[in-house]
Amino acid sequence: MNTASLARDLAAIVGAESVITDPVALATYDCDAYTIEKAMPTVVVLPQNTEQVAAIMRYAHQQAIPVIPRGAGTGLSGGALAVNGGIVVVTSRMNRILWVDVRNRRLRAQAGAVNLHLSRAVAHANLHFAPDPSSQGACTLGGNIAENSGGPHTLKYGVTVNHITAIQGVLPDGEVVELGGDEDEPYGYDLVGLVVGSEGTLLFVTEATVRLTPNPQSVRTMLAVFETLEDASQTVSDIIAAGIIPAALELMDALTLQAVESAFQYGFPLDAEAVLLIELDGLEAELPAEEAEVLALCERNRAREVRRAQTPQERARLWNARKKAIGALGRLAPSCVTQDGVIPRSKLPQVLREASQIARKYGLPLANVFHAGDGNLHPVLLFDDSDPDQVARVVEAGDEILALCLREGGSLTGEHGIGVEKCAMMRQMFSQADLETMKRIKAVFNPQDRLNPEKLFPDTRYCYESKRRLRQRAASI
């Protein structure tokens, strides 16, 4: 089917103003936030509700056309790429909060609702939606569900799967299904838990019911300054070993501090090798003792100073610096790629040191800004994506860093997903039997692999071709 006919048929479902075929406009949707790979969709459609998504899915099923769900495009693993062309269905107009039940701490929203808007909608009731990715000012609920997103405060409060009680979605043949309910604990098979983190390969999420969390009574936010990464990362392990679970425990290294200070002029120390952003929350009566113990642990690990936010404005500035840190790194290089490996906390000093050695081997700057409390690393490789040589080196270095995480007992991803960027490494983490079991589960929902195809699994054609192209570049170095 030619593009004109496809666009005409889709316009009959959503209206001509909600169908994009212009090549320049389509280029907006050929990648996500920091993905090296790019792929142009055949057409982009912007529905407004579940009924329109279901009609699009029925039509695509009849025509055997792939459908790719997409939220705000803030993904970091290529999960929303139209790798074989097809219909990219963007949820940005499905952004309504449908109802709020303060008494039962529930909220229902469409998949395109922005993460931060959920918390703003219930701020008057002293509640919030706990998962808080750094992109929460833009990322959407559907994308959070697809990737099982985390964020700084999920150290204490848990990732997205811990805060979703119900999902409405559309199967590849257009059937609308409702999974889960409003209750605290699921009964029978946990199909909501199965869908969260499935990267849009099981069904197209259109609405969800989320669990709301009470705001803490009191908060302490501190910035601890260290001369070495080793001292900062040892402090992380010591805090957790002491039985203290901070609301957040984030690490930024010297290169990140340089970029953040250049962007915001917050007075961060540029001669330090690392800082820890430590946040404690809970009952006011309990926090002074916890704070004193954390300060003692920082001192024991040779913290040069510990600054405490004295006002809500100072706390907001610290969190603004952390959540916009990767964006600030754009001051240091035209492009960056953020990896997402997870390791045991006790391995932080060793893995950070070895990751730096890998980056030096490939001649690439490496910045670290990550969720130290749960060992979720975000090593950021800086490069120029217009230089094929640098692109090839970034791919090789990123794979080596992820392989290092696996060797140390970790995983390929904590919150960014596998997508197309990491699919070739899945065999290093899972056995063939594991992978075949996952495929059988996917086939129950998505038997023709037309919903977000060529993702997750290492034997997909695109995954193989992508790595072959990039390794050919590396071989020519």
Within 10 A of 376 (CB to CB), how many other CB atoms are there?
24
Cβ–Cβ under 8 Å, residues 303 and 235: yes
**pLDDT tens, residue by residue, 454-477:** 999 998 777 756 655 555 544 544
pLDDT on residue 410: 96
Q: Which residues pair with 149 in a beta bridge?
A: none
Architecture of domain 218-328: 2-Layer Sandwich (3.30)
Where residue 35 falls among pLDDT bands split at 50, 70, 90? Answer: confident
| Pair 379, 401: CB distance under 8 Å | yes
The whole-chain average pLDDT of the chain stands at 94
115 within 8 A of 132, measured Cβ to Cβ:
yes
| CATH of 97-214 among 3.40.50.300, 3.30.465.10, 3.30.1360.70, 3.30.499.10 | 3.30.465.10
Hey, what are 382's tokens?
């800086």
Q: What is the mean pLDDT of residues 340-346?
A: 93
Q: Which CATH architecture does the domain made up of 3-90 adopt?
A: 2-Layer Sandwich (3.30)
Domain ranges of the chain: 3-90, 97-214, 218-328, 329-475
SS3 192: helix
- CATH architecture of the domain formed by 329-475: 2-Layer Sandwich (3.30)
pLDDT at 477: 45
Q: Which of 278, 324, 252, 241 is nearest to 153 (CA)?
A: 278
Backbone phi, psi, residue 184, to 5°: -70, -40
- Cβ contacts of 398 within 8 Å, gap of 6 or more: 337, 339, 381
- For the chain, what percentages of helix, strand and coil (3-state, to nearest 5) are there? 40, 20, 40
Whether 370 has a pLDDT exceeding 60, the answer reads yes
Q: pTM score, two decimals?
A: 0.95
Token pair in block for residue 306: 């510990």
Q: Which of 54-63, 187-196, 333-342, 345-354 has the highest mean pLDDT?
A: 54-63
User: What tokens appear for 160 in the block?
Assistant: 């997205």
pLDDT in tens, 142-158: 999 999 999 999 999 99
Q: Write the Ramachandran bin of 86: left for phi over 0, alpha for psi from -120 to 50, otherwise beta.
A: left
127 CB-side CA count, 13 A: 19
Q: What does the alpha-carbon distance between residue 417 and residue 473 come to, in Å, rounded to a whole number?
A: 25
Residue range 409-428: mean pLDDT, rounded = 94
Q: Do 218-328 and 329-475 share a fold?
A: yes
